[in-house]
Amino acid sequence: MAGGEQCEGSTVVSDLINFLNASPTAFHAVDEAKKRLKNAGFEQISEREDWELQVGKKYFFTRNHSTIVAFAVGRKYVAGNGFHIIGAHTDSPCLKLKPVSKVAKGGYLEVGVQTYGGGLWNTWFDRDLTVAGRLIIREEKDKSVSYLHRLVRIEEPIMRIPTLAIHLDRGVNDGFKLNTHGHLLPILATSVKAELNKVVPENGSAEGGVQSEGKKSNEKGNIDSKKHHSLLLQLLAAQAGCKTDEICDFELQLCDTQPSTVAGATKEFIFSGRLDNLCMSFCSLKALIDATSSECSLEDETGVRMVALFDHEEVGSNSAQGAGSPVMLDALSRITNSFSSSNSKLLEKAIQRSFLVSADMAHALHPNYMDKHEENHQPKLHGGLVIKHNANQRYATNAVTSFIFREIAEKHGLPIQKCTCCRYNDTVVQNMVGSIDTLNMQRLPIPSFQQSILFLFFFQTCNSHLDILGWVLMFISIRRT
């Protein structure tokens, strides 16, 4: 291993760790992506406005604050030329707060949650948990009212889902059947302590927490304290810098307070939650930024370089901001139309000249469960980049796309592995972004890999430094080929 590669790999991994720790939710991931793109000279545009695009310029837009699409237009681009796209997703399996989360029983305040995606839910037990997401806040100034989207994240651990003591369930080691409705309720506080700590405003009742001007809860559309614990609302308001009766609604999820880190005896692993799929979101975003960083990087480019980071992949991608929505087709159409006023089916031509890389995660061989992999398809850490195959078209790979990817990798000295994801033909495999989007273009799913998928934290993923560097270099190579 060359010293320069090791140093560069460590720098990239350190940047990935920062990205992961800044992104507890899809909303935060998109916000972090926006900051990086703006710092790199990308201009934010809106789907609600006309687009006045120019060749040689870089742009991005968001949808629902949880999906982001960034692109750079080559200086030699003309309408009808192809798009070079890398797609990944911003969401991960988690526990989301219910619309009515207030649960009180047995002398405890608990928070009602529902499962999102296909997680391994028993890994959420006995972790130091908090909440993060977005608030919709009402703001009154000079007798006018506006509504703001504000990200929130409580840094300290405020919840825990405790395991039942073995003394009360002696047979637990012989098999435990999880009831997601009853067993996954995180404890927020004891009822007694919450009552003693309740904030009482000067005008009276403490039920709604810190209220403004004596207004009753829900009088102007603010969130109803009968549906959520006032203690939780107080914590959220304090973090967001507002009053509880200014919170109109929220989308919150539980997250672990333990930060992502580099670990292992030789510091070769990344221990983190949400690597599915913030890892590929980071790699594709960094590749686009790095590949367009110099003044002349787009000088000879005839196409459009693009990264699309979608929300809701974990639940089917069929939302307005998912990969199954028209968001990409809309974007390609608007870009094409910005450089041509003719109606000569230029978009259809452009799509057939384009290439989409679907970047997600794969299962690396687990030394304790080696029988779960088919013997001829066992991707390993440090073994190279992975191409996924599935005969039932759960992935988008075919002979042409696989060949193109291998040729690019070989040209740049990057090793390749292939996998079918699982050993048994009757095992269900997860859909990827590339196999369900609305574009009729050549696609290829190329995942990074992890030892276990959809766990809460470091049980989830171990990626080597050079694996991460390899993906960034590969994505840059695709854009330059």
All structural domains of the chain, each given as residue ranges with its CATH number in brackets, are: 3-92+273-480 (3.40.630.10), 94-256 (2.30.250.10)
Number of other residues whose CB lies within 10 A of the CB of residue 172: 12
What is residue 435's predicted lDDT score, i.e. its pLDDT? Answer: 45
Question: What is the Cα–Cα distance from 77 to 81, expressed in whole angstroms?
Answer: 7
Tokens 């304290």 label which residue?
225
Helix, strand, coil shares of the chain as percentages rounded to 5? Answer: 30, 25, 45
Q: Give the strand pairing for 58-63 and 43-44.
A: parallel
Q: What is the largest CA-CA distance in the chain?
A: 75
Q: Give the pLDDT score at 458.
A: 37
CA-wise closest residue to 459 among 24, 22, 17, 127: 127
pTM to 2 decimal places:
0.90
pLDDT at 205: 44
Per-residue model confidence (pLDDT) at position 461: 41
* Strand segments (E) across 192-316: 247-256, 261-263, 269-271, 304-310
Residue 160's nearest CA partner among 135, 179, 185, 181 is 185
Could you list the beta-strand ranges (E) of 106-244: 108-116, 129-141, 144-153, 187-190
- End-to-end, the C-alpha distance of the chain in Å comes to 26
- Pairs from 199-203 (Cβ < 8 Å, separation ≥ 24): 199/234
Residue-level pLDDT at 24: 98
CA distance 398 to 235: 51
Which residues of the chain are modeled with pLDDT < 70? 1-9, 199-221, 420-440, 442-467, 478-481
Distance (Å) of CA 121 to CA 150, 183, 295, 427, 468: 28, 10, 48, 20, 27
* Rounded CA separation 232/224 (Å): 12
